[in-house]
Amino acid sequence: MFTPLTADDLMLKPGLLAGERILVTGGGTGIGRMIASGCAALGAHVFICGRRVAVLEEAAAAINAVAPGKVSTLACDIRSEESISAMLDAIWAEGGPLTGLVNNAAGNFISRTEDLSIKGFEAITNIVFKGTFMVTLGCGKRWLAEGTSASVVSITARNAQNGGPFTAPSSMAKAGIENMSQTLAVEWGNRGIRFNAVSPGPFPTEGAHARLLPGRSASAEAEAGKSKANPMGRVGQPAEMANLVAFLLGPGSGFISGQSIAIDGAGYQAVAAPLWDQSKDWGDEQWRAVREGIRATDSKDKAGR
Ligand code: HXC
């Protein structure tokens, strides 16, 4: 069940994003909805777009119930340049430029790479890679032409850095988006446009679970709150995601650009640490036995010197 965030749930000061106009692609569900909710709670006018109007309307109604009038919906398929252009024209006409963009919309499914068709590859990369670029470019051209400062946050994944077996198109596309973020942070930095990327660890959402973790329930896992994917042993909370993205969108982070920040409870470092999984659950007795075993090996080696 989706519970919209309020300013009390967030660590940032109420009204931090007042006057900001922020587009969250794919903002009707999952992580996008968490971010949209947090930004609205902090006073931004938030535009959420997606392909399913009913889903958008439902999310907007829930958020507007606690942050009246803060969320507007726009139907848009980010695989279509025309659809993006129409959406951005409508936003600019409605009340002026966007000041923030959250590239959140994604598509994914688990598959052996050898089983993918080119259409399957494109179904994902046309959303994650090309679609994200087209939305960014559409906003960027407008911002550059009118001299508007803006902050762009792209939701990526750790598979952008170390590969994503069984999710090759998503992984390749997310790596491209990380590169876009770094590239444009430099290219457009002197025009006041910032780019940062955020890679989430486990934030259970129905859309991702259905396509990546078959047989597992996102709502049950969110409710239970546990995860084996990081040393903290837990999943991320919607407010934690909203805090980070709102911080990067907000005026106080104006000197942060070109960065990629994980929000995963050190999951990435843990997975990359070869001895963590082996040793994390040992108690005093086991550590004593291990130490004695190592010392015995040392003594044997010394005796042979
Ligand atoms: C193999 C598949 C497939 C599957 C679709 N295809 N699903 N192939 N396994 N499970 C193939 C089809 O066979 C077809 O190719 C081609 O893809 C297009 O299929 P469509 O159904 O027409 O695609 P479309 O309706 O455009 O849907 C796009 C989608 C869908 C990406 C496939 O899943 C979607 O709309 N997802 C949006 C939401 C989502 O995915 N959320 C999770 C994001 S999680 P052929 O050749 O047969 O015609 C995330 C986390 C990242 O991003 C981090 C991960 C670690």
Q: Which of 132, 155, 211 has most ligand 1 atoms within 8 Å of CB, for mutation? A: 211
As given in the structure block, the two tokens for residue 208 are 């991702």
Q: Please report whether residue 2 resides in a domain.
A: no
Q: Please report whether residue 304 resides in a domain.
A: no
- Tell me the DSSP string of 48-67: EEES-HHHHHHHHHHHHHHS
Q: Is 112 in the pocket of ligand 1 (CB under 6 A)?
A: no
Cα of 212 to ligand 1 centre, how many Å?
Answer: 11
Q: Please report whether residue 305 resides in a domain.
A: no
pLDDT at 145: 98
Cα of 268 to ligand 1 centre, how many Å?
Answer: 26
Q: Are 105 and 32 in contact (CB under 8 A)?
A: yes
User: For residue 200, which atom of ligand 1 is closest to its CA?
Assistant: 53
Residue recorded with tokens 């129409």: 86
Cα of 23 to ligand 1 centre, how many Å?
Answer: 23
Distance of alpha carbon 212 from alpha carbon 268, whole angstroms:
18
Cα of 176 to ligand 1 centre, how many Å?
Answer: 18
User: Which residues constitute the domain of residue 237?
Assistant: 16-264+271-299
pLDDT at 142: 98
- Which CATH number does the domain housing residue 133 bear? 3.40.50.720
Q: pLDDT (tens digit, 9 = 90+) per residue, 112-158?
A: 999 999 999 999 999 999 999 999 999 999 999 999 999 999 999 98
Please give the backbone phi and psi of residue 120, each rounded to the nearest 5 degrees, phi first: -65, -45
What is the pTM for the complete model shown? 0.96
pLDDT at 219: 95
Distance of alpha carbon 230 from alpha carbon 88, whole angstroms:
39
pLDDT at 68: 97
Q: Please report whether residue 11 resides in a domain.
A: no
Q: pLDDT (tens digit, 9 = 90+) per residue, 3-36?
A: 999 999 999 999 999 999 999 999 999 999 999 9
Q: Please report whether residue 6 resides in a domain.
A: no
Distance of alpha carbon 98 from alpha carbon 82, whole angstroms:
18
Which residue has a Cα nearest atom 30 of ligand 1? 107
Q: Are 197 and 181 in contact (CB under 8 A)?
A: yes
Cα of 149 to ligand 1 centre, how many Å?
Answer: 35
Domain count, the chain: 1
pLDDT at 62: 98
Q: Are 123 and 168 in contact (CB under 8 A)?
A: no
Distance of alpha carbon 189 from alpha carbon 176, whole angstroms:
19
Q: Is 78 in the pocket of ligand 1 (CB under 6 A)?
A: no
pLDDT at 208: 95
Spans in the chain with pLDDT lower than 70: none
Q: Are 131 and 107 in contact (CB under 8 A)?
A: no
Q: Which residues of 54-80 are buried (b: 16+ CB within 10 A; e: fewer)?
A: ebbebbbebbbeebeebbbbbebbbbe
Residue 87 vs residues 1, 26, 59, 84, 124: alpha-carbon distances, Å:
29, 13, 18, 5, 21
Q: Are 122 and 164 in contact (CB under 8 A)?
A: no
pLDDT at 30: 98
- Tell me the DSSP string of 109-170: ----GGG--HHHHHHHHIIIIIIHHHHHHHHHHHHHHHT--EEEEEE--THHHH--TT-HHH
Q: Please report whether residue 181 resides in a domain.
A: yes
pLDDT at 276: 86
Residue 259 vs residues 39, 125, 136, 166: alpha-carbon distances, Å:
20, 22, 17, 26
Contacts of 222 (CB under 8 A, 6+ apart): 204, 235
Q: Please report whether residue 279 resides in a domain.
A: yes
Q: Please report whether residue 4 resides in a domain.
A: no
